[in-house]
């Protein structure tokens, strides 16, 4: 079957990946992995502006990756979907391997791509 996902679902999945495609948001998620935190602590730890952190928190919250709880003046954010860490591990391992392979390439001479003879069009 050619299509695994509908167009709509593809958009949704892409949207989620994009949510994870920002270093600052990844840092926030890593921070929250230890447990819930109020905004000001995240701001202090990550050394960014409060509005910026708030915006990223909104984005993550809206995307369902974290959730919020109010306690007095503080808003505590926490991980809503631990799946993100599985994702990060997968990507991290894969990226590491890719980098290692590239380094190996640079050490070993490329030796030329073996040119295969053409075998007509591949209509399947």
106 forms part of the interface with a second copy (CB under 8 A) = no
Pair of tokens at residue 72 = 């007095």
Binding mask 39-78 for DNA (x = CB under 7 A): xx--x----xxxxx-xxxxxx--------x-x-xxxx---
Pair of tokens at residue 93 = 């391992």
94 forms part of the interface with a second copy (CB under 8 A) = yes
Smallest gap from Cβ 73 to DNA, in A, equals: 4
DSSP character at residue 117: P
4 forms part of the interface with a second copy (CB under 8 A) = yes
Residues 98 and 12: their CA atoms lie apart, in Å, by 27
- Helix and strand totals (H; E) in the chain: 5, 3
Give the distance, in angstroms, between the CA of residue 2 and the centroid of all CA atoms in the same chain. 26
Can you give the binding site for DNA, defined by CB under 7 A? 18, 22-24, 38-40, 43, 48-52, 54-59, 68, 70, 72-75, 115-116, 118, 123
């Amino acid at each position: 079957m050619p299509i695994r996902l509908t167009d709509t679902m593809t958009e949704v999945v892409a949207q989620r990946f994009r949510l994870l495609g920002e270093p600052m948001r990844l840092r926030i998620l890593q921070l929250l992995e230890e447990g819930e935190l109020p905004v000001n602590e995240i701001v202090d730890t990550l050394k960014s502006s409060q509005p910026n952190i708030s915006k990223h928190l909104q984005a993550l919250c809206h995307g369902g990756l974290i959730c919020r709880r109010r306690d007095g003046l503080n808003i505590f954010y926490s991980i809503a979907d631990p799946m993100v860490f599985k994702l990060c591990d997968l990507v991290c391992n894969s990226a590491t391997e890719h980098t290692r392979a590239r380094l190996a390439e640079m050490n070993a001479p490329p030796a030329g791509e073996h040119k295969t003879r053409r075998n007509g069009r591949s209509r399947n």
